[in-house]
Structure 1
Amino acid sequence: MEFGFDAEDEVFRRTARDWLAAHHTGDPGRRDWERELGRDGWIGLGWPEDGYGNRRATLTQQVVWAEEYARSGAPARSGHIGEKLLAPTLIGHGTAEQKARFLPPIARGEELWCQGYSEPGAGSDLAGITTTAVPEEGSAAARTYRVSGQKIWTSLAHEADWCFVLARTRPDAQRHHGLSLLLVPMDQPGRVEVRPIRQLTGTSEFNEVFFDGARARAEHVVGGEGNGWRVAMSLLGHERGVSTLAQQVGFAAELRRVVETAVSTGAADDPVVRDGLVRLWAELRTMRWNALRTLGGSGDVGAPSVAKLLWGGWHQRLGDLAVRVRGAEASTGPLDWSAAAPYELDPLQHLFLFSRADTIYGGSDEIQRTIIAERVLGLPKEPRG
């Protein structure tokens, strides 16, 4: 399949660009912005079902929206975890009642979600989770689970209304057996505690979440009890796709800033720096065409892992070059350890520090290489401890 944009896509592009120009004014609150997107149907473009207040869009139109959104400088999304991860999972594995309950508030931008997967002792090795969900006594119709355990690196948990939690409903089962995916409300004082994790950048998008007997309803188990591993793997398959192309729009803007800085500081006169900039530009173009090829149906089971390896390493190299072209000034900045964010970072310093995690979060490079080795190349499986 050849991936390209036709005349209808360009009409859609003008519609998206005009809407963003008219509505992205000032500095709306994150929740207010989600509701504004939802009111005009811009949430859920990629869902294979409509009827939830969402517009329908072809794959190419979804790419157009993602790219125009990134170019507009609109606020970072708070609702993407519900829209891009949970919603497709519910559409594929949820009951009619679950879809009717949860999809409309996501489409309207009214309920925000976070993902309860990683744990202190089970990050890349997700099958090692120890969080438990124990059924309470009572009739089957009214049955609830008590969820106990700790999740970590939980993005936007401090803003979320709900969390989809991978937990062990059969404590005697090993590894990926006996797991279930439960939808857990976050507003449970005394039972759910969120602790922000301050990052190198001074911000706190990630959190620790502690569940101490938090309650989840039996009808909010997605895919049925004991099928959590299958559902969780399906959900992770939605993590990469159209959003990769929007991410690359942001990468291109960062690369332009690095080039401009290199020219202004004179660093571009260094042939090694010039070579690095040209390589980064060429690699970014290659990543774009690879992403388009994959979306066009030419990819394979290892394509998401290849894409993650490509952009993670690329972004780190861009961060390295960003501080190099700044020179000595890149290591300086005012410090105030009494403040919530003890130092102010300029965009290139932020790029360097944030990109240190690119080869770890979203699936570490080690895990991606293992997936490619085992599932694509057919090499022997890695020994499990």
Structure 2
Amino acid sequence: MRPHAQSVMPNFHALRIALIGNHPPRRCGIATYTRDVAAALRAAGHAVHVTAMSEPGSTHAYGAAVDLVVPRDLRAAYAATERAIARWRPDVVLVQHEFGIFGGPAGLWLTDLLDAARVPAILQLHTVLGHPDRDQRAAMDALYRRAAGIVVMARSGRDILRGTYGTGVPIDVIPHGVPDHPPVQPAAMRRRLGWPERPTLLTFGLLSPGKGIETAIEALPAILERVPDVRYVLLGATHPALLAQEGERYRDGLAARARQLGVDHALNMENRYVDDGDLCDALRAADLYVTPYLNPEQITSGTLAYALACGVPTVSTPYRHAEEVLEPDFLFPFGDAGALAARSVPLLSRPSLRDAVGRGLWTASRAAIWPVHASRLGEALRAAARTANVLAIPAA
């Protein structure tokens, strides 16, 4: 049995869970997480009913994976949809929360949906703001009054909630779920994928300015001085919102910057959206994963969690999630290309160091594989379901 593998206990109590969030084919990290956590909860024995929030102008073909769709900007749909969910008689509602998913000021209309459901709700927060604006604070305070529990994926999220919001709602820290793949040598995976046999850096995700890709490109000259055959793979489509606004101008600007620096021969930009299987293959083909993100408040990164689960050494800026899971030697200051290069070269040039670091990351990540994640999340959901069936909603 793999470490932390779960078996069904004799006192296991299956739940009927109404899961609300984004969902593929919408392209975003929360959509992917919603799909994956639904599958993990079902594999654990629970029944899951999925409601997808749709952005304006979307025409996604959700298929049988999604039971209901709510137009984000149509307020009347919130209460009406949740009454439909209530007819399914869920034990608990699990909300994937991020500002922008829900309509109204800072997503306030989600409260209409929860009020109509009138069953205990868990808020799973993908963003926790330490300095919310007025609308964000009002929306979160209203949601906390309606929540039977909160789930965050990093300890700092719990600290912010208690320090900034003073909420007395139970808070569980459950790290982001990850796939369970065996370790593999990057060279073997490169051969399988048909990639050239060169030391390889990788950054994955929907391309947008906040990802800090400029820093990684500007680090390439210094890395190439020490590792002349290095290859930097930038894997991912342009963010749909950015693409609609300005086309590929941002991507073209990154390519132009690489040419200016004389490192375009080392940069491979793959403009495509990949599924989890292709992502994990790409991660395991890399010697080093880089997350040069610019937002210090970022509390969850699914791609970082996946990289560690695949046993890929990672260097990163010190946003909140990275600070919690990486040693200081693998962190570099925001926007500091020289420090990124200094952190990267030892891992790229010393295979024994890279392998040792990767093995440690892979072993530690077994505590977050999807069966374990679903088990811990199920415990939080069962605790919420034991609260009063009709929640008392205090006045604002």
Task: Provide the TM-score with structure 1 as the length reference.
Answer: 0.26
User: Relative contact order (C-alpha < 8 Å, sep 6+): which is higher?
Assistant: 2
Task: Provide the TM-score with structure 2 as the length reference.
Answer: 0.26
